[in-house]
Amino acid sequence: MIVGARGQWREHHRRRRWRIETLFYNSLPAECATVKSFLSLCLLTVLSATAQAEVRLLTSIKPLQLIAAAVQDGVGQPDVLLPPGASPHHYALRPSDVRRVGEADLLYWIGPDLEGFLPRVLSGRSAPSVAVQSLPGLQLRHFAEGHEHAGADEDHDEHDHAHRPGTLDAHLWLLPANARVIATQMAAALAAADPSNAARYQANLKAFEQRLGALDQRLKQRLQAVAGKPYFVFHEAFDYFEAAYGLEHAGVFSVAAEVQPGARHVAAMRARLQQAGPSCVFSEPPLRPRLAETLSAGLPVKLAELDALGSGVAVDAQGYERLLSNLAESLGGCLEAL
């Protein structure tokens, strides 16, 4: 009987307390009833502040953006200055570009041998700007004294004048070993700017290096069978990639995009193609020079594209590897079909 009475008292007390708490909650002002919403708003504010604290990394060209994306994977998304299809040799900065350059926490560019439009605006930056062509450990190439340009006596554009013998070949990102050097520097700079994610940057760097090593072996096997087959390019941009995989172009058709070459120039280039026999001629996107069809008409020549900038490659951790793989597939696919 005593135990039963105590149990009834406890149940009565629990129900009474529940009624009191319910009445108290219902009597609160409307503002207090939105505590959950307020906490949610606080959480969103914290997340927003975290997003704003992300290191803003800007690159001049897409290949550097692809390397940065591998290092920042899962932490941030690098941005790129040049829009798709723009040439780093001739780009003109817009006011919005100048603002982006000034706002970036870290900026990476190849150097004055490629982006001649950048030095003046970079002089006004207080945050770090890295010209990767000056990084220690890079393997750099220079345009050869005796390198032959088909029809090289006339109709050169400004960029081809910049490819004077002895000058730096700035297309250095097309050598996987150089990509490793660039990624290593990026990981160190990002870790210094964002110490809380330093371990992630280093893990991403290690994974990138391992994937590049495996890719390098696959590309060597892929391109070994086509070494020595003749091909021509409209832009001398691929020497680093060729050196890595035992390839060499037979000639460069240097022409100004806005000027139709003279008859003597066309005849000299066709003579080179006739002498080479079955061969490939590679142009770069987004536009194929009209001269390509003129040169190849009636000859055993295949036309194809090589994209040194990876214009169609998605920006993610594996983007740089796809850039190299696409080059290998374009070269191998055309040359194997000869």
Containing structural domain, residue 254: 57-133+141-336
pTM: 0.81
Residues 44/49/54/55 CA torsion (nearest 10 deg)? 160
Helix, coil or strand: residue 59: strand
User: Which tens digits make up the pLDDT trace of 106-151?
Assistant: 999 999 999 999 999 999 899 999 999 999 999 999 998 545 555 4
Give strand pairing partners of 141.
169
Q: How confident is the model at residue 264 (pLDDT cuts 50, 70, 90)?
A: confident
pLDDT value of position 260: 61
Looking at residue 24, what is its pLDDT? 43
| 310 three-class SS | coil
Mean pLDDT of 304-332: 97
Residue 308 CB: number of other CB atoms within 10 A? 21
Residue 13 lies in a domain: no
CATH number at residue 290: 3.40.50.1980
Q: Residue 278: inside a domain, yes or no?
A: yes
- Check whether 327 has a pLDDT greater than 80: yes
Give CA–CA dist 128/121, Å, rounded.
13
**Rounded CA gap, 277 and 264, in Å?**
20
If you average pLDDT over residues 170-198, what whole number do you get?
A: 98
**Is 79 domain-assigned?**
yes
Cα–Cα distance list, 16 to 11, 199, 239 (Å): 9, 55, 85
Please give the average per-residue pLDDT across 151-159, as a whole number.
Answer: 41
pLDDT of residue 210: 98
Lowest mean pLDDT among 1-10, 78-87, 186-195, 257-266: 1-10
Query: Domain for residue 61, yes or no?
Result: yes
Q: Quick one: pLDDT band at residue 15, thresholds 50, 70, 90?
A: low
- 27: in domain: no
pLDDT score of 34 more than 90: no
pLDDT at 262: 77
Q: Please, which residues have CB within 8 angstroms of residue 282's CB and are 6 or more apart in sequence?
A: 231, 232, 233, 234, 303, 304, 305, 306, 330, 331, 334
**Does residue 155 have a pLDDT over 80?**
no
What span, in angstroms and rounded, lies between the C-alpha atoms of 228 and 195? 49
Give the pLDDT confidence score for residue 47 in this predicted structure.
46
Structural domain includes residue 34: no
DSSP alpha helix (H) spans, 231-289: 239-244, 263-276
% of the chain exceeding 70 in pLDDT = 76
The Cα–Cα gap between 260 and 21 comes to 88
Number of domains in the chain: 1
What is the rounded average pLDDT of the residues 258-271? 79
Report the alpha-carbon distance of residue 327 to residue 150 in Å, rounded.
23
Backbone angles phi and psi of 9, in degrees to 5: -65, -40
Determine, yes or no, domain membership for 297: yes
Residue 8 maps to a domain = no
